[in-house]
Chain A
């Protein structure tokens, strides 16, 4: 039976087709773009962000902050993010993406506070671990938590004393800040009211729970800062350092000029589609409110967030930073391998392909063998790229190295098989069958592949994150080649030699 009619050949074509689709993703548009591949800063450029730990931290805390930031942005080292110290007080972050989510992960300290009534009961010091979030639908998720023995005891005492276990959880509550909101802000949110006596927002939650958001707030007209607001800011000038404007900076252009100079002014803008009450709760750092039957007793925090956002909250809480961090500057940078790298690499690939074809032809003098080897090599290239896309790896220089290793060892193995089958690895070739030679050649290849995979695993597990992408591409590419191409190549060479 022709090798092209064998099931193995059909399977390879199917895998190549699926891989090509994973790389191309035609459902994103029919232009010839590799949408499934995420290129790293090396190849596509990205952003350099300068971060500043706000309180002076020790050298070890500085190193700790860098490792925590790395764990937040690129925990497995597969996204190409890189952190380095800059000067004596800054951290330089290189990343391919810089959206709102990345900024939150970079800047949120991860300070957790659990209040019952207005009393602080627990902080993150009283919690030993945060489990993987569980989805409770599109709006709510829960994060399992484990208290320290002391924390659990404290909680029990408060609940028993007050007879109340309903409370609220804050993440990075801006305790040093005053919220300023413009007229009309409160018209829309139905769950919130402003209490003039406490100068704080009061929430009436979905379960009928009522609680105060423990961040002072003051309303003003947008034309100019109201006299009450100005008085309040002057009175609080010693104890509060920041003013958080609810809305865009432009909205508060007139007001900003009148805010006493001792305050650092920031704004909390409202993304499109976010409800008014959620916006204010977010500004106050509120992540959860719960009743007796949910939360404390059951050892979980129920957050008003989808699963992805809940995962981010858990990441922030699990990797608490030693200090608050601000973004000092963000700069878009070009690809370190050069703007025209992809085009140059494609030309180099074409030239290499021609060179390989010529050398193989000079060795075997049979163009069918050249086509078989080049064809299999191309298939392995596409399959490995497909795996890169399926695993959502970011392609940077280390990953290119992995690709080069997979292709390089692929050529090696094909040569071993071809030589063994055509010219006979053993001097007594004529005495043994083609099947025996094929099996011997494949044994050598399988042994070599197994050793490469086994040797790469400890580097993937123990090695540092910068070359983890390399190891994953090497392992996955080698396994896929082992499954789909090696024995087929032997069959093709067998068929060519028979003809």
Chain B
């Protein structure tokens, strides 16, 4: 509870500034490095290996191809062969892959390499963007109807928006490609962020007695516990399951939840406390 004591002593500006510095750093990494597009959005190459009499182990094929290219590939076992998906290959890379597969005992005649299109078309990306914007508008309207204060809606939207930008920043920093999985993480994060922000707004603005700051400190414990429990579930999935997509999803989500705790309990709390304390001041003057 020592940390909660430190937290209570921070001024609103400090709370807001801490979160904004982290968000600014991650936003800058999005702008400077850019988020790499994954195969779901930009397409790639499909290597079809078929008609093999002796099919080598898929994990050894995967490591051989990955070491020849220096990038991640997905290998799927099919009847008498494999389907290997990867980013677009140059001519020299095609030669390297064929060589690596040949070393695994796969004759070149069994290999075909073709470009594969994106799973998400430009139109679908647009639809997704519009649907997230529509979700933001809905969140804004409903929270305004419930709390009757613009500042609450704006704060919740700001926190969720920054959560998303920070996750994109993580992707830019660690070169995690934008894929259907990462879109899923973003939408899931919106759900978790709604929970923590509604809790915060309720505790600060619809309080019964007590100082808003103490209310926030009390609910910080709940918020932290929520985050830790989710992280435990995600961490166990990440460690125990070997599926690459699920590992990416859980790792990104753990980061997203950590950043959401930060944005909610520093930035969101700072803004709402500032608002609540001003309101309190006004009420005090009116009562005098």
Task: Point out the residues of chain B lying under 8 angstroms from A458, CB to CB.
Answer: 131, 134-135, 137-138
Instruction: Give the Cβ gap from B212 to chain A, nearest Cβ, in Å.
Output: 11
A161 within 8 A of B: no
Say yes or no: is B230 at the interface (Cβ < 8 Å to chain A): yes
Distance in angstroms between the alpha carbons of A470 and B195 in the assembled complex: 18
Answer whether A464 and B198 are a contact pair too, CB < 8 Å, given A419-B221, A428-B210: no
Is residue B10 within 8 Å, beta carbon to beta carbon, of the partner chain? no
Q: Is B120 in contact with A462, judged by CB distance below 8 angstroms?
A: no
- A345-B237, A345-B241, A409-B195 are known contacts. Are A451 and B139 too (CB-CB below 8 A)? yes
8 Å CB contacts to B: which residues of A124-142?
Answer: none
Q: Per-residue CB proximity of A438-458 to B under 8 Å, as 1/0?
A: 001001100110111011111
Question: Is B146 interfacial (CB-CB < 8 Å)?
Answer: yes
* Residues of B close to A464: CB separation below 8 A: 120, 124-125, 127-128
User: Chain A 250-287 against B: per-residue CB contact (8 Å), 1 yes, 0 no?
Assistant: 00000000000000000000000000000000000000
Say yes or no: A363-B225 contact (C-beta < 8 A), given A86-B116, A344-B242, A466-B180. Answer: yes
CB distance from A433 to the nearest CB of B (A): 12
Q: Considering only CB atoms, which chain A residue lies closest to B44 in the complex?
A: A84
Docked Cα-Cα span, A458 to B143, in Å, equals: 16
- Chain B residues closer than 8 Å to A456, beta-carbon distance: 135, 187, 191
Where chain A touches its partner, the secondary structure class is: helix
Using an 8 Å CB-CB cutoff, how does the interface string of B206-224 with A read, 1 for contact, 0 for none? 1111110011001101100
Provided the pairs A86-B114, A348-B241, A464-B120 are in contact, do residues A405 and B188 lie with their beta carbons within 8 angstroms? yes
- Report the minimum CB–CB distance from A253 to chain B (whole Å): 24
Main secondary structure of the interface of B (DSSP, over half): helix
Give chain B interface residues in 124-158, CB to chain A under 8 Å: 124-125, 127-128, 130-132, 134-135, 137-139, 142-143, 146
- 28 A-B pairs with CB atoms under 8 Å apart are A86-B116, A86-B117, A344-B242, A352-B232, A359-B229, A401-B184, A401-B188, A404-B234, A409-B195, A415-B225, A415-B226, A416-B226, A419-B222, A426-B210, A427-B210, A428-B208, A428-B209, A440-B202, A440-B208, A447-B146, A455-B190, A455-B194, A459-B134, A463-B128, A463-B132, A466-B124, A467-B184, A467-B187
Contacts beyond the supplied A336-B76, A363-B225: 8 A-B pairs with Cβ under 8 Å? A86-B116, A334-B77, A356-B232, A401-B188, A431-B208, A444-B198, A459-B132, A474-B191
Identify the A interface with B (CB < 8 A): 42, 48, 63, 82, 84-87, 90, 92, 331-334, 336-338, 340-341, 344-345, 347-349, 351-352, 355-356, 359-360, 363, 397-398, 400-401, 404-405, 407-409, 411-413, 415-416, 419, 423-428, 431-432, 440, 443-444, 447-448, 450-452, 454-459, 461-467, 470-471, 474
